Amino acid sequence: MTRRLAVVVSAAALVVGLASGCAVPNRRAADGPILKAAATQAQVTDIYANYREVRNAAVELLDPKPLSTVETGAVLAVDTGAFAVSQKLRRAGQEDTGPIDVARVETPRFGKYPLWLFAVVRDSNRKVQQLQIFERTSAVDPWLLVATPEALTSTKIPGIRHDGSGHAMTVKPTSGTGMAMSAQEAADAYARVLTDASALTDAGVAEDAFIRQMREIAASNAALDGVTFAQTWAAEKVEHVLRTSDGGALAFITLLRKDEYVVPLDRKITWPAGSPQQALLEDGIQGTKGNLNYYHQIVVHIPGGTAKPRTIGQFGGVVQGEIGLDQAVDDDSLKPTPTPTRPTPTPTTK
Amino acid sequence: MLRTIAGWALTVLGLLCALLGLSMAVVLGPDGRRTTGPHTVDVDSSVLVTAPRVITWGDVKVDVLVEVPAKKPVFIGLGNTVDVENLVANVQRTEVTKFETPWKPTLKAHDGEQPTVRGAPTALDWWIADSAGLGGASISTTLPDEPTSIAVVAIGASSLSGLKVTLAYGIAGGFFKGLGLAFVGAGLFLGGRILRRGESPLEEGDLRGNDEDDEEVVYVYVDDDGVEHVLTEDEIDDAQFEVIVEDEDEDEDEDEDEPEPEPEPRYVWIDDDGVEHEMTQAELDELGDDVEIVDDEQEGDRS
């Protein structure tokens, strides 16, 4: 009897002890890294709920001002332009009231601000998936959408590599270790190839759908009778790069495109009615020089190894139009105006 | 030998666990924590913050109460060190650069371009725990498994002069965890004792549910006349009887033998000449009521 009691007591003691011993105090290494995951799942939910609420309010009011509390950079410039065009044309936008389908969220860990996260949002109506980057530049600033390139739902997004804690790993934009080139080099290569088609052989990037589409637009503009057309591209500083599971990188690149038209007095170029270009340059261009500036955001997959970078998603729009000026394109001088382009309307000459 | 060593090891370990658990329960008390304060902290600035790596513990329950005189508005928050450091960067502040329990903080003043933090700390969404109030504020939380810092901020134009801090720290449910550990120790102690004695904790009898300690042994002496006498163990030893073990189960088995099936009745017809003819049940059924059945045994009994 005593022995049986002892066995029962021992077993019960171990069970109770183990159960009560869960979550015992523990001390971290004094020299351990100080890191923070960009956001929790609950915070991501709040970020998207707030984004939609503000965006819908802006759509309802046909006023882009509230967008500055949830967007910044090229995204804000393009969206603000779209709202301005809608205002001009008195065309109400579409409120987004369906469920937010955030298919994937990756939250890297950072030792200091800015923090950013990557999310894939499915838009089943348009059959696209948006590859979005939300960024928080300081502890007192809100989360802002800084990149939102789009890809077809059928496009396979490369897997992201995770660290030991299960968070996405990032890559320094200037690091090309294990890849054909760094993200910044890829951005510069795209700008070079888009400006000068002959640079493709040396640039080290693949001639993908984005490059072909931009070349077609440039070719149709250059074919305008009697008009001198020039197009230049510049890459902005790359800031958001994720490590992919193949040892490569997924880079978010912003490109600035400048289309310049020199039109003689006996010619006039105009854009289709209702297009953002027409909203910007209502009277067209005649007997002078005119510029249209665009922002394009692309997501480039730089595979591990020696394979060439390739664009898997894009987003963009015209953000500024000017006539008779010859000023250099400067980020600070960009006063956003019209609309997401895709495709870019082709001007006609008379 | 090995079993004895293991037994002793378990016993000692059990004893240590039991002592540790009991000490923990006694030191922490029923609320599972130790309290210190209120302590006056000499702060001239409007921000007091713990430096990175001062809070190194995780899964420790902490309660911090800060009080300022004249009902000045004050805020206290616990956040990830990355957030807190960014919040107080370039802010004039007092940093707790070292802290030893129960209460021995080392303070260092830091210059900064701004007199206080940007914006209202209450509006930030990344605090793990935070509170604000007039004249005092408190937080009660369990330190997460990530680098954390505590910030105390005087809201508005006031400073934190006259600040008093009361700190309580411990383990959530520490009292019961201590008791649990003591219980584990007791179990290990008993387990070690069993191992030392060389007994198997579970024997076949235990598994069957028969406890040999519970078995009652009865010694019976059958004399020449066949009369049974119940004897004690001592009487057996004194008389040096030979003990024959008679398993009770065997008797039960014998008793429980299936009864023999009843023999089928045998029908015999005696004709007029007195000759006996054996009949089957079917033949008898054919004759029906024409035949009278007489039970031989009953007739015999009557005679």
**Using 50, 70 and 90 to split pLDDT, how confident is the model at A330?**
very low
Closest Cβ–Cβ partner in B52, B177, B187 for A21: B177
In the prediction, which pLDDT does B296 show? 66
Provide the β-strand partners of residue A33.
none
* Least confident range of A311-325, B64-78, B259-273: B259-273
Closest CA to B33 of B172, B225, B228, B229: B172
Does the pLDDT value for residue A48 go beyond 80? Answer: yes
Q: Which of A17-31, A300-314, B125-139, B214-228 shows the lowest per-residue confidence on average (mean pLDDT)?
A: A17-31
User: B246 CA to chain A: closest CA distance, Å?
Assistant: 24
- CA of residue B22 relative to chain centroid, distance: 16
**Which of A149-158, A324-333, B130-139, B147-156 is least confident?**
A324-333
Q: B56 contacts in A (CB within 8 Å)?
A: 27-28, 30
Min Cα separation B39/chain A (Å): 25
Q: Assign residue B135 a region (left: φ > 0; alpha: ψ between -120 and 50; beta: otherwise).
A: left
CA quadruple B202, B204, B208, B214: dihedral positive or negative? Answer: negative
Q: Do B211 and A4 touch (CB under 8 A)?
A: yes
For B6-61, the pLDDT digits (tens) are 888 888 888 888 888 888 777 777 777 889 989 999 999 999 999 999 999 988 99
Nearest CA to A248 out of A301, A294, A327, A321 is that of: A301
Tokens of B10: 């378990």
Q: What gap in Å lies between CA A305 and CA B27, rounded to an integer?
A: 60
Angle, helix B2-28 to helix B174-196, in steps of 10 degrees: 160
pLDDT the model gives residue A17? 56
What does pTM read for this prediction?
0.73
For residue A333, is pLDDT > 70? no
How many angstroms separate the CA of residue A112 from the nearest CA in chain B? 6
Cβ–Cβ contact A258 with B under 8 A = no
pLDDT attached to residue B182: 82
- Collect all residues with Cβ–Cβ distance below 8 Å to B139 and sequence separation of at least 6: B62, B63, B64, B76, B77, B78, B129, B130, B131
The pLDDT tens digits for A273-306 are 878 888 888 889 999 999 999 999 999 999 999 9
Residue-wise pLDDT tens digits, B271-296: 778 788 777 777 777 777 777 777 76
Alpha-helical segments (H) within A152-182 = none
How high is the pLDDT of residue A341? 38
In whole angstroms, what is the distance from residue B38 CA to residue A164 CA? Answer: 41
Spatial distance between the Cα atoms of B253 and B250, rounded to a whole number of angstroms: 5
Say what the alpha-carbon torsion angle A287, A289, A293, A298 is, to the nearest 10 degrees.
100
**Res B207: pLDDT:** 47
Amino acid symbol at A284: G
Residue A20 has pLDDT above 90, yes or no: no
The phi, psi pair for A268, rounded to 5°, reads -145, 130
Would you state the pLDDT for residue A338? 32
Angle, helices A183-195/A209-222, rounded to nearest 10 degrees: 30
- Residue A336: asked if its preceding bond is cis (omega within 30°), the reply is no
What's the average model confidence in pLDDT over A238-265? 96
**Token pair of A328 as six digits:** 């250099």
Distance CA A340, CA A314 (A): 11
Interface test with B, best of A28, A40, A135, A143 (most B CBs within 10 A): A28
Task: Give the confidence band of A87 by pLDDT, cuts at 50, 70, 90.
Answer: confident
The whole-chain average pLDDT of chain A stands at: 86
- Count how many Cα atoms sit within 13 Å of the Cα of residue B265 in the half-sphere of its side chain: 11
Q: Is residue A153's pLDDT more than 70?
A: yes
Least CA distance to B197: which residue of chain A?
A3
Give the start-end residues of each E strand in chain B. 33-41, 47-50, 57-58, 61-67, 73-80, 93-100, 104-110, 129-134, 136-142, 148-154, 163-170, 219-222, 228-231, 267-270, 276-279
Confidence of residue A92 (pLDDT cuts 50, 70, 90): low
**What pLDDT is stored for residue A347 in this prediction?**
67
CB A267 within 8 A of CB A290: no
Could you give the CA distance from residue A225 to residue A350 in angstroms, rounded to a whole number? Answer: 9
B171 CB neighbours in chain A (<8 A) are 24-25
Cα of B224 to nearest chain A Cα, Å: 39
Contact list in A for residue B186 (CB cut-off 8 A) is 9, 13
| A326 against A68, higher pLDDT | A68
Please report, for residues A213, A314, A339, B83, the alpha-carbon distance to residue A151 in angstroms, rounded to integers and kept in the order given.
14, 7, 18, 34
- B211-239: b (≥16 Cβ within 10 Å) or e: eeeeeeeeeeeeeeeeeeeebeeeeeeee
Q: What is the mean pLDDT of chain B?
A: 82
**Token pair for B101:** 């329990």
Asked if residue A117 lies in contact with residue A41, where contact means CB atoms within 8 angstroms, the answer is: no
Banded model confidence at residue A97, pLDDT cuts 50, 70, 90: low
DSSP state, residue B212:
G
ipTM of the complex: 0.83
Residue predicted with more confidence, B89 or A87: B89
**Gap between the Cα atoms of B129 and B55, Å rounded:** 15
Lowest mean pLDDT among A23-32, A207-216, A254-263, B201-210: B201-210
**CB distance from A110 to chain B under 8 Å?**
yes
For position B188, what pLDDT does the model report?
A: 86
pLDDT for B252 beyond 90? no
- Residue A211: other Cβ atoms inside 10 A: 20
pLDDT-above-70 percentage for chain A: 83
Helix axes B174-196, A2-20, angle to 10 degrees: 140
Q: Does A24 contact B145 at a Cβ distance shorter than 8 Å?
A: no
